[in-house]
């Protein structure tokens, strides 16, 4: 049996004061990152925007999710590239599932780049199902577009207590 040791982390709302650290991670992680305006608009709209801080106070990752009627839509989940592979994305997903249960959202939706096998694998491992494709959803290099895989998690089956 193996165990994954997770560092002690703090989940907290993203504030305007946190945006530079969030943008630094966003720009390191993606060739087509969200802008400062995207994050400000999400916070202003009241979306669930949380970050994960390490014991030293550094921002390690974050997510933004939008509440809908009886559902939640995950818009962005990112872990700093230097911190990936330590269970932090799963920790953030667990927090989103708990928020879904607290807000009586029975389903969690997301889109993920078709080429992002690592993220797709994590989502599948956590109980998401691939349910469709959005053609040309994401920008891609050379003025091209990349398909998104639409995935969903039945939060009621996740038990509202986190992921299996």
Identify whether the C-beta of residue 68 lies closer than 8 Å to the C-beta of residue 39: no
Backbone angles phi, psi at 29, to 5 degrees: -85, -25
Q: What angle do CA 36, 133, 26 make, to 5 degrees?
A: 20
Residue of 62, 123, 137, 142 marked catalytic: 123
111 included as an active-site residue: yes
Residue of 47, 62, 111, 138 marked catalytic: 111
123 included as an active-site residue: yes
Place of tokens 């990112």: 78
- List of residues 6+ apart from 158 with CB closer than 8 A: 97, 127, 164
Question: Which residues are catalytic, by number?
Answer: 111, 123
């Amino acid at each position: 049996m193996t165990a994954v040791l997770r560092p002690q982390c703090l989940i907290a709302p993203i504030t305007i004061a946190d945006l530079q650290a969030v943008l630094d991670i966003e720009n390191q992680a993606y060739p087509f990152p969200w802008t400062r305006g995207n994050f400000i608009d999400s916070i202003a709209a009241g979306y669930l925007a949380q970050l994960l801080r390490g014991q030293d106070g550094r921002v390690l990752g974050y997510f933004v999710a939008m509440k809908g009627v009886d559902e939640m839509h995950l818009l962005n989940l990112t872990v700093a590239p230097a911190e990936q592979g330590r269970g932090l994305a799963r920790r953030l997903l667990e927090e989103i599932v708990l928020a879904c249960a607290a807000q009586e959202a029975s389903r969690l939706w997301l889109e993920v780049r078709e080429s992002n096998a690592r993220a797709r694998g994590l989502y599948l491992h956590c109980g998401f199902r691939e349910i469709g494709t959005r053609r040309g959803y994401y920008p891609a290099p050379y003025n091209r577009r990349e398909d998104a895989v639409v995935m969903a998690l039945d939060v009621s089956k996740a038990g509202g207590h986190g992921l299996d």
